[in-house]
Structure 1
Amino acid sequence: MVDRLVHSEINSRRIMQVEQCFGSSGQPLAMPDRVLVGEGILTKMCRKKPKPRQFFLFNDILVYGNIVINKKKYNKQHIIPLETVKLQSIQDDGYFRNGWQIISPSKSFSVYAASSTEKSEWMAHINRCVQDLLTKQGKQQSDVEDSPVWVPDSDARVCMNCHKSEFSVLNRKHHCRKCGAVVCGPCSSQRWLLAEQASKPLRVCLNCYEKLKQGSGGGGEVVAEGKGTANNGNLDSSGDSSDDENEADGLATSDQPTFYGGSATKN
């Protein structure tokens, strides 16, 4: 689909511009045979509310970040290898339309496009890149367990584990990294090493903890709440390392994504 852009000067310039927009906070993106396939704004469902994020689709990775200055500066860069990515369409539900889930072992979340056409183009291009990458590598998609898509905070009034504890300013909401449920502190007091998601033990609900412990024959790493594992900014965040209340929120308006290989829905 984009083979003609490999090693081209225009592709190198595009990738260099993306690197410059992330600045020193981002990882280098220029690699042999890497092509920038497309870019545009999608609305990512974060922990507390939907927020616009800038996405860059390459032929081997998906990159996104927070928008500081549109088309000029981004931060909090996230990189997801495409060979692990699966897509699942989301049915329209009132205000939330044209959405799908991006699912992988390291990170899973929901995104929304501004129109059904944009949704179709994004999904077609991502799926095409995944299939082309696996074909070139002579691989099939891994059967490693995927990370969960987190339940939004707004969907839970009480703990989804004990079904008793009501959330409040003092009784904070937490997310289980194994199932994505919103749970209270006592019901998420244990942590487990989920190697595909992080190198440190992550918060899990008591139900998942018991299942993980049984599955490992009673082994595994137990870390009591507030002990052993420091909060590194990711343990209770949305996967964007912060959920900045000062950021613009809501579903993004159309910014007409650009796909450099042409339309993927007409082929």
Structure 2
Amino acid sequence: MKAIGTSMTCLKESDGSDTEDFGSDHSEDCLSEASWEPVDKKETEVTRWVPDHMASHCYNCDCEFWLAKRRHHCRNCGNVFCAACCHLKLPIPDQQLYDPVLVCNSCYEHIQVSRARELMSQHLKKPIATASS
């Protein structure tokens, strides 16, 4: 295993074959450095940002970036947007982003709908209180 920051990356040992698999996707094979307990794969995933040099236009409205029209990365999807298409903020606990961070309009809407569904689902699972006489 190779330590990177505060997490562990799993590397299989070489058996000399050409079909060697470096970097297992199996979360049960990786251990948390702090607790030595298995880590859920979801907890270790990060959003990969589109590099600035790869984005000359807004991913949503296709306007061209220049000195006065700056690039903004959505912290949820990683795409590059103009300020008009990426100005809203939300916490993203799934990515350990507990303070509000910049998200694009599409991700904002998607996250809000998902959270509303989750809250509704939790509310529907609660037992109905009955009045007793």
Scaled to the shorter chain, the TM-score interval is 0.5 to 0.7
Residue 213 of structure 1 corresponds to which residue in structure 2? Answer: 112
With structure 2 as the length reference, what TM-score do the two structures score?
Answer: 0.62
- Judging changes above 3 Å, is the alpha-carbon distance between structure 1 residues 86 and 133 closer, same or farther for their aligned structure 2 residues? closer
- Judging changes above 3 Å, is the alpha-carbon distance between structure 1 residues 190 and 132 closer, same or farther for their aligned structure 2 residues? closer
> Is residue 10–residue 30 contact of structure 2 (8 Å, CA) maintained in 1?
no
- What letter corresponds to residue 188 of structure 1 in structure 2? C
* Larger fraction in strand: 1
| Higher RCO structure (Cα 8 Å, ≥6 apart) | 1
Deviation at 1:180, TM superposition (A): 0.4
Alignment coverage as a number of residue pairs: 104
> Is residue 147–residue 178 contact of structure 1 (8 Å, CA) maintained in 2?
no
Q: 1:147 aligns with which of 43, 46, 69?
A: 46
Distance in 1 (alpha carbons) for counterparts of 2:96 and 2:31: 22
Percent of aligned positions with the same letter in both sequences? 29
Q: Please, which runs of 5 or more residues in structure 1 have no aligned partner?
A: 1-36, 38-56, 63-78, 88-120, 219-267
Q: Please, which runs of 5 or more residues in structure 2 have no aligned partner?
A: 12-19, 118-133
Give SS of 1:187's match: coil
Show CA shifts across 1:200-244 (max 9, x none): 1110000111101111118xxxxxxxxxxxxxxxxxxxxxxxxxx
Distance in 1 (alpha carbons) for counterparts of 2:10 and 2:102: 24
Show CA shifts across 1:147-197 (max 9, x none): 31100111111100222x210011110100110001011111101101233
Q: 1:194 aligns with which of 92, 101, 104?
A: 92
Distance in 2 (alpha carbons) for counterparts of 1:181 and 1:156: 9
With structure 1 as the length reference, what TM-score do the two structures score?
Answer: 0.33
Show CA shifts across 1:78-135 (max 9, x none): x2422xx689xxxxxxxxxxxxxxxxxxxxxxxxxxxxxxxxx9x83x65xx83637x
Matches within 5 A, 1:1-267: 57-58=2-3, 62=4, 79-82=5-8, 124=22, 127=24, 131=29, 133=31, 137=36, 139=38, 141-144=40-43, 146-163=45-62, 165-195=63-93, 196-217=95-116
| Larger-gyration structure (1/2) | 2
